[in-house]
Chains A and B, each alone.
Chain A
């Protein structure tokens, strides 16, 4: 209901369309953003298709987009692409799940024992800094050319961000909340289950997001160094044959696996952390 003052100024208000125009602009902006993103993709695809031949870039350096699509179809028919894709995807998923589980368990265990956390923290830091992918040749020497080395590299790569995030959550838990639970005569196990664990979930989910992206790196390195299957293997195979399109295609599929893994984590996070108010999308 407009107030009397507003009604008196009715003409002036109607004559100044500042507010509706701003709202309209905001709505147009909301639609313009995805449209702009799609436009960028189209321009990039066209440039990729037509610019290299125009500039005289040879196909073994930068194959046009059409060649990548044709190579993808050929790989599907002749190179058992589905098998390689499934192998890499399942290895990444398995490594992610195992690494996350170990990382979370160790994070909670260390978070509950201040003494062990202090004893082990220098080693955790050292291992966190060590380049985990460099362990891949070592694992191949230990376990041979099978699935074990890639799985281990992936587990190792995923392990640390989860461990560190969970440990951080346990260390920064609100002491007053813990005291409240204690005042209600809760035992340690109950305090963990009802306060510390749920309070750590935002950090755990943040760790899982990082882990999801790292899992693909871990499995790729494992397959590059010593694999007979998987997209990493296809990359080194394509490299040996100077098949640049094959390398590009494998990279694209690895990225897709990473996006799916990350998406699954994001969907889980939205469900688990439903109680956290989200700022409206800009």
Chain B
């Protein structure tokens, strides 16, 4: 069997931030984990545990102070075309139509002509169910549709890895459920590796293959739970499994224990 390198691999990663006139703030400390290609991993933890720092490190936006981050076996030294991310904010450019927003990430890729950019954007819009809104502007769309457009933009660059930083937390409860469903279907269908940062434990259980639990500051990985559940492409179906609720309860008690230790 040929050796396939993990899609994401962190080895003893520490990141500190210098505070003016204070002791350095250790955001994450000695974090190590690897993610197999095509896996969906959720990261949960209390607020301020360095989840977003983790994302910036994997995206190559921020260098680690210690340890190494690898994407597909190669050490990360800056933004990689392999990785795309999306945040709680949709970050759509308000002056561009939805179609042109989806093309945005492709414009920095050498050798992709305008016709191909357009074709790829149209394909992703169709996949995210937004074809009818290609020529609308972001201000004309609802929050859920804008977030779907952001996913289309993320997938348009054909990344191997996508990083999702609380993409559903700004949405109302019903939109959130619908969107989790459509994101899970789309990501499952695209076969990409996904790292989802969230504070919603049920969301983590409903969408992921595996959940990493982080401690409060400095962030460390305190628990790594493989989810033995079917229906990864359908959070709606998963939520109905009794075992899903057992997992969520287990995550909850892990986080509570950690909070109690910190107090």
Contacts and interface: CB of A to CB of B under 8 A. Distances in A.
B61 A201 contact: no
Q: Most chain-A Cβ atoms within 10 A of its Cβ — which of B80, B105, B140?
A: B105
Contact of A198 (B56, B59, B95, B108): B95
Nearest to A273: B95
A60 interface: no
B257 to A, nearest CB: 33
B93 A182 contact: no
A194 B94 contact: no
A181 B101 CA distance: 12
Interface stretch (A45-53, A76-84, A172-180, A239-247): A172-180
B79 A194 contact: no
A120 interface: no
Contacts of B109: 185
Contacts of B61: 179, 182-183
A12 interface: no
Contact of B139 (A177, A180, A201, A276): A276
Interface in B127-153: 137-140
Given A176-B87, A198-B95, A184 B139 contact: no
Interface string A181-224: 11111110010001100110100000000000000000000000
A142 interface: no
Q: Chain B interface mostly helix, strand, loop or mixed?
A: loop
A191 to B, nearest CB: 9
A275 interface: yes
Interface string A146-186: 00000000000000000000000000001011011111111
A184 B94 contact: no
B87 to A, nearest CB: 6
Nearest to B84: A183
Given A176-B87, A183-B85, A195-B93, A275 B60 contact: no
A177 B93 contact: yes
B218 interface: no
B42 interface: no
A58 interface: no
A122 interface: no
B133 to A, nearest CB: 14
A131 interface: no
Contacts of A276: 94, 139
A187 B61 CA distance: 13
A187 B109 CA distance: 11
A277 interface: yes
B79 A184 contact: yes
Contacts of A195: 93
Interface of B: 56, 59-61, 79-81, 83-85, 87, 89, 91, 93-96, 104-105, 107-109, 137-140, 157
Interface of A: 174, 176-177, 179-187, 190, 194-195, 198-199, 201, 273, 275-277
11 contacts: A177-B91, A180-B91, A181-B108, A182-B61, A182-B79, A183-B59, A184-B107, A184-B157, A186-B107, A190-B108, A275-B139
Given A183-B59, A198-B93, 5 more contacts: A177-B91, A177-B93, A179-B59, A275-B95, A277-B140
